[in-house]
Structure 1
Amino acid sequence: MKNEILKIDKELPTVKKTELPSGHPLNDLTCRMLIAEAIKAREKAYAPYSGFKVGAALMSAGKKIITGCNIENSAFSPTICAERVAFSKAISDGVLESDKSFVGIAVVGGKDANVSKEKGFADYTTPCGVCLQFMSEFVDAENFFVISAKSESDYWIYTLKDLMPFAFKYKK
């Protein structure tokens, strides 16, 4: 049996800005607002080991915005990602209880050396697998949108289902 690299030719589906469901709280303006808040949150990141700072801005169904940044730890496993910080803050502050659901999250990230005021971030940052699984616990994956941005005007939108099609769900 020889080792082979499996190449998948299919590109990841994206939702264009104009294809968001009608009446959905996310539109170009709210996406830009979330991205701006994620950029601000990124500035608070504590990333002395990787230098890769991430910011996230989560929007509830009630249009509350909750931010988070990544926080690294020298033991590595206690490190927590920006997306989980935002969700944890929202849940501990009662936002899930009051607003019942979340509609989307914007994520930005990169090393300071790779960020320019003119062009924004060098690459799009998407949530890691742990964050995707964590989010799937609290949202409807087909109706929750992940905004991966380089800048307020340069972004992609995915459904959580696109990024994590087979999330684990415990069945009682």
Structure 2
Amino acid sequence: MDVRHSARLAPFQPETVWTLEAGTLVETRGKVVRRFPLSSLTRYRLAADQRSGRRSLLVTFGKRRLVIVSQSYVAPGRFEDRLASFSTLARALAAVGADLAPRARFGVARLQARQALTWIMGLLALGAAAMLVFSLTAGMAAVGVEMAARMVFALILLAAVLPWLNRGGAFDPHAPPKDLLP
């Protein structure tokens, strides 16, 4: 018996169909067919947004990654919830993947807002420094100092927000969605 889930990911793309067939996950998008043998599964991460109810599954096969979503695009700002078929595929994929790839890591994904903001701050600081150096070498010190000062101001504002961010972000790993766990 094949397990099947489908969703439209974007307005101008054909519907994407994920099928679990005899130890292989098959992704079909229009005429493009990709096959992922579950024996090469390395990571299975389930993500659930507590506010919107969206669920997604990140499956990694070595260096190849695949994202499976529970909602299908209908119109701008409107999505159709296809949780029943998504849940069936997620459970079957976890069960078969655990048998065929015993060393694969299974877990619940978390969004880490502090880590993301820290990376953004570091890249912004690097950009401000590069802007200042490049403008000085080009002989445009006034323009470079002014632009770097604006970037540093944005950096200060981001640093002021950092203490108020929670450690786990939007996803709580201690309260995973009970209907989607394998």
The structure whose residues are more often helix, as a share, is 2
In the superposition, the TM-score normalised over structure 2's length comes to 0.26
The structure whose residues are more often strand, as a share, is 2
In the superposition, the TM-score normalised over structure 1's length comes to 0.27
Question: Max radius of gyration: which structure?
Answer: 2
